[in-house]
Amino acid sequence: MSGRAKVAIIGSGNIGTDLMIKVLRTAKNLEMAALVGIDPESDGLARAGRFGVATTAEGVDGLIAMAGFDEIDIILDATSAKAHEHNAARLAPYGKRLIDLTPAAIGPYVVPAVNLEEHLDAVNVNMVTCGGQATIPIVAAVARVVPVSYAEIVASIASKSAGPGTRANIDEFTGTTSSAIVSVGGAAAGKAIIILNPAEPPLIMRDTVLCLVDAPDPATHEEIRSSIEKMAADVAAYVPGYRLKQDVQIFPVPADQPIHTLVPDGAARPTHQVSVLLEVEGAAHYLPAYAGNLDIMTSAAIQVAERIAARKATS
């Protein structure tokens, strides 16, 4: 295990446990050091104990008090937005690198396929949301070809995959994702919608991305399609269950369609709509395969941690 960066995970629920198993089973540059929770009876802490991973049920204060805390390089926080604010403040004096899987957004938004290299030195990076990780790469893929006047994403996830933390953060989800559609995706304006689908058996994550663009030239349409297909492959490199559900659709915006309320004031009227349908199937390391919304968050966070660790090892 020598040469690997030591990792602690705060949050012993579904997301934290899946992160732990990914580190133990798949990580190349990471060593699992500790799992932190607040419920001593949680399945995650019990599972960590069986794996021989150090645990504490005393939250971030318990982590700071643990033997070996000084050796931990990276801390992944899988709690809640409010809890992360507290955790980040407590950890600030210790110089740890924080990867935030909550919508707290203290640090810069990071979507690995889009802007990871820009923020490798950031002390605290934010993983946006599951919908953001799935859809913002597509918005960015369109925006690198032609300006995007407006982007709208709809994330549909199985109700069973939305635990208490996800439900408590629903309001933050829409605000954080909408903000990142602009700041990371490159759209002039953005909106995010989440749907908790109660269907039985549970359906895997589905996402729809709609972009309004000024692209009258058919040659540009082919560039957009190629850019989206390449981006989908880039995301699938660290989220194997990520895929385009069908071919990219590009069609004219009807002259009588009232889109003036969507695009920024003074912007040229978009000529075309780009529609992309995505599907995200989970790797089922710990979470069920239908919980692609959680798997894409944990997979993206591990990708960030791996890159930070690899860079540290060569610096």
Q: Is 123 in a helix, a strand, or coil? A: coil
Of these residues, 104, 130, 204, 232, which one is catalytic?
A: 130
pLDDT band for position 27 (cuts 50, 70, 90): very high
pLDDT above 60: residue 298: yes
Task: Give the pLDDT of residue 209.
Answer: 98
pTM (two decimals): 0.95
Which one is predicted more confidently, 69 or 267? 69
Task: Give the pLDDT of residue 132.
Answer: 96
Task: Give the pLDDT of residue 4.
Answer: 95
264 and 148 in a common domain: yes
Q: Is 4 in a helix, a strand, or coil? A: coil
Structure tokens at 65: 């008090």
Beta strand spans in the chain (E): 5-10, 30-36, 54-56, 72-77, 97-100, 124-126, 148-158, 190-197, 205-213, 242-244, 249-252, 272-280
Average pLDDT (77-86) is 93
Which one is predicted more confidently, 73 or 81? 73
Task: Give the pLDDT of residue 144.
Answer: 98
Average pLDDT (120-140) is 97
184 and 99 in a common domain: no
159 and 225 in a common domain: yes
pLDDT band for position 1 (cuts 50, 70, 90): very low
pLDDT above 60: residue 302: yes
pLDDT band for position 291 (cuts 50, 70, 90): very high
187 and 283 in a common domain: yes
Backbone angles phi, psi at 113, to 5 degrees: -70, -15
Q: Of all residues in the chain, what percent carry a pLDDT higher than 90? A: 89
262 and 158 in a common domain: yes
What CATH number is given to the structural domain containing 219?
3.30.360.10
Average pLDDT (210-221) is 97
150 and 118 in a common domain: no
DSSP letter, residue 30: E
Q: What is the pLDDT of residues 90-123, one digit of tens each?
A: 999 999 999 999 888 899 999 999 999 999 999 9
What CATH number is given to the structural domain containing 56?
3.40.50.720
Cβ contacts of 177 within 8 Å, gap of 6 or more: 128, 129, 131, 132, 135, 136, 153, 155, 190, 192
Structure tokens at 121: 């030195």
pLDDT above 80: residue 2: no
Structure tokens at 197: 């689908």
What domain range is 237 assigned to?
A: 130-290
11 and 107 in a common domain: yes
56 and 182 in a common domain: no
105 and 22 in a common domain: yes
Cβ contacts of 76 within 8 Å, gap of 6 or more: 7, 8, 9, 10, 16, 19, 98, 99, 101, 301, 305
d(CA 125, CA 304): 9
* Residue 130 a catalytic site member: yes
d(CA 219, CA 217): 5
Work out how many domains the chain is built from and give that number. 2
d(CA 111, CA 114): 5
122 and 110 in a common domain: yes
Q: Of all residues in the chain, what percent carry a pLDDT higher than 70? A: 99
Task: Give the pLDDT of residue 172.
Answer: 81
100 and 27 in a common domain: yes
Average pLDDT (182-190) is 97
Task: Give the pLDDT of residue 60.
Answer: 98
- For residue 233, the tally of other CB atoms under 10 A from its CB is 13
Average pLDDT (45-65) is 98
pLDDT above 70: residue 272: yes
Mean residue pLDDT of the chain comes to: 95
Handedness of CA 208, 212, 218, 221 (dihedral sign): negative
Average pLDDT (241-265) is 94
168 and 276 in a common domain: yes
